Structures are given as structure tokens and as C-alpha cells.
Amino acid sequence: MKKDEIRELLKHHGTPCVSIVVPAHHISNDRRTDPRTLYNAAETAKRLISENYSKASFLQDLAAKIDNAVEQIDYLHTVNGIGIYISPAEARLIHFTTPVKEKVIIGHSFDSRDLLCELEALEDYFVLAMSRKYIRLYKGEGEHLQEIQDGNFPFVYEETFEYAKPAVGNSFGDNSLKSPERDKSVMTEVRMQEFIRHADNACDGYLRSPIPLIISGDAKALSDFAQVSRHAGRVSGKVAGSYFDAQKQLAHLACSVLQDIRNREKAKLADRAHELIGKQKVSVGIEEVRRSALDGLGMQLLVENDLAYPESRGNHEIEVSSTNNPVDLIIKSVTAKNGEVVFLESGALKDFSGIALILRYNDR
């Protein structure tokens, strides 16, 4: 699984660890430049290896691994980026669904930021999709949905209503006969709510862990679920509409809902960091954060996605380094001591010079 691959890369240490990351494009005209961009980045990586490890026995092997990885790329099926991770003991290719910037990093471990962002985007979740005919449960991982078909799901609604003889009205009013169409409408409504209730009960075995639940359906189905569900409090978000024949679109919309939730939570963390400045429970700026991280004080590291120290290359910027980026070293220090790393959009931490560390306690 992709998440397992990423976790293995994050734990990997070796000399050297080569990280080559380039953006990819969806539009065919822009996509034409992707092979050349990756080729140039790969050549830069081989040059850096040659300059820094000219007498090493693994030099030719690493260069061959890089060339083999480049040859494996199917540019018609890339998403937002391509990552090649090479060491004497490792060779991995990662397709990024999250936006990336071009970089070539040579260090004692792989550059972690893009991998951590991708891992965040691959969050597990459930989607309960409801219609008047079906209720289906999907297990999601990033923008991939897998329908659960295990004897509990899916639920199929079967209309068994039969017209009854018109019933006499209640004593309130004109004693007129009830309409059989009205009887059917009421019974259909009751049965639809029971249909949803049964499916909701079947969710018990899947919602024991705190995995987000997204519900999908038309306005009436979403309303009925809110009325009858025992799991209404577990719902993280909603997708309005029916997407039984558009599973990819449903996955994309569900991921957008989850990303909105993450963005709100991140904004709250940034606000909390401002509040903690006066209490001296937050380090600000790269040097202060680095010292606190190395001392093991970090509880939550907040860092802007694109915070780096790039060298200028031609008409654009590419991060090229024969050592790990200082920001990446801070990230590794925090995660090694069980701290949390939270990535925010560019400019979200401008008051903190792009990086802040919420401390476990005040050690100043």
C-alpha cells in the first residue's frame, strides 16, 4: 500500500539518500514538458552524487537506479507530482496527489515534507452514499474509494407497498375518505426512514475507530439520516447529490470536505500559537524552533508548505542541496520525539517567519 511505502521511506536512513521531486501536469500541452523537467532533475542528482561521493563504490549503482526510475514513469497517468527516492538499499517511485515543487536533495535520509503532506492527504474515511434505491458504504483512502460488499452492504430498497382500500378519515374535519395515494406517500416515507435506520445499524461494526464519516445523498436522504441515525454525531461532512455512477467524483468531493475540515483545524492551531506567545510556550523563526526541536520540547510544529532555502537556477527556483534542508531536519527532530507536524498554506505563518513550534512546556 502507498501509505506503507511512504512510512518506510520516512524511516529510512542511509548514505546517500537521494530525493528527486518534480511537479506534474494534467493538461496535455503542459504535460509535454514533464519528461524534460524530470530528466534535468535526475541529471542534477547524478551530478551531486558524483561531486560528493566520487570514490564511492555505489556511484554507478545509484546512477543506474535513477535512470531506471525515470524510464518507468507513465506521464499519461501522473497526478500532481513525481517523486524518486534512491539510496544504496532503496529505490521507490511515488506519485503525488498533493502539489509539489521541484527539488533535488542529497542527505542521510529522504526529504520528508512532500511525503508527510501526501500521507496526510491519504487519510482513511468512510462514505455512506444514500438514494431511494441503494445505500452503499465505501472505505476511502485519499481519492480512492473501495465499495464494501461483505453481506452487510450494500442495502437494496424493494418497494412492497400495495394499495389498500381507502380509509375513513379521523373525526377531525369532514369525515372524508383518505386518499390511497396519500397513504402510499406516508408509508413510503416511513419505509425509507426504516431503510436508512437498518443501514445505520449495520454501520456499527465499521465505526468503532475514530475514522471520519462522510454522508452523501439528496436533501431528503440527508435529512432522514439526521433524524434516525445513531451515528449522526460521527458525521464529519456531507456531499449533496447522488454519485453512484461517478465514484471518482464522489471521492474527490469527499476529499474536498475533509480538506476543508483540516484547513479549519489548522487555522485554529495558528490562532493558538499567537495566544501562546505571551505565555512563552511557542518558539518562532527557524533558529529558535531548531534549538527547541533539538531539545525535544516540540509538541506541534507548524510550518508553511513551501518554506525552504532554494538556490536560483535559471529562470525558476529549484531547491538543490547536498545536505538535507534545515526545515526538513527540524521536521525529523520533532517527529523523532513523537511530536506532530502540521503544514499550512504559504503566508499563513507570516507573523512567525513561516515556522512555529508549540512547546510541551515552558523551558525558558
Of 293, 330, 352, which is closest to residue 116 (Cα–Cα)? 330
State whether CATH 3.30.420.40 applies to domain 124-261. no
Cell triple for 58: 555505489
Residue 176: the pLDDT is: 46
Alpha-helical regions (H) of 127-217? 180-202
| Three-class DSSP category at 118 | helix
Cell triple for 358: 508549540
Rounded CA separation 76/58 (Å) = 32
Distance of CA 166 to the CA centre of its chain: 55
By the 8 A CB rule, do 353 and 300 touch?
Answer: no
By the 8 A CB rule, do 169 and 153 touch?
Answer: no
CATH fold label, 1-121: 3.30.960
Domain coordinates in residue numbering, the chain: 1-121, 124-261, 278-364
By the 8 A CB rule, do 325 and 271 touch?
Answer: no
Q: Are strands 235-240 and 213-217 parallel, antiparallel or unpaired?
A: parallel
Reported in sequence order, the residue ranges of 54-133 that DSSP labels E, i.e. its strands, are 81-87, 90-96, 103-109, 124-130
| Three-class DSSP category at 140 | strand
Sheet with 90-96, strands from edge to edge, namely 90-96, 81-87, 13-23, 103-109, 316-321, 311-313
Residue 177: the pLDDT is: 46
Class of residue 74 by CB neighbours under 10 A (exposed 0-12, middle 13-18, buried 19+) = exposed
| Three-class DSSP category at 141 | strand
Residue 178: the pLDDT is: 52
CATH class of 278-364: alpha beta
Residue 173: the pLDDT is: 42
Residue 163: the pLDDT is: 40
Residue found by looking up cell 546517500 in the block: 16
List C-alpha distances in Å: 272 to 53, 191, 199, 269, 279: 45, 47, 40, 5, 11
Question: Structure pTM?
Answer: 0.83
Residue 189: the pLDDT is: 82
10-residue mean pLDDT series, the chain (364 residues): 92 93 86 92 95 91 97 91 97 95 92 94 96 94 94 82 41 46 72 93 92 96 95 95 90 96 95 90 94 94 82 50 78 93 93 94 62
Cell triple for 202: 449495520
| Three-class DSSP category at 103 | strand
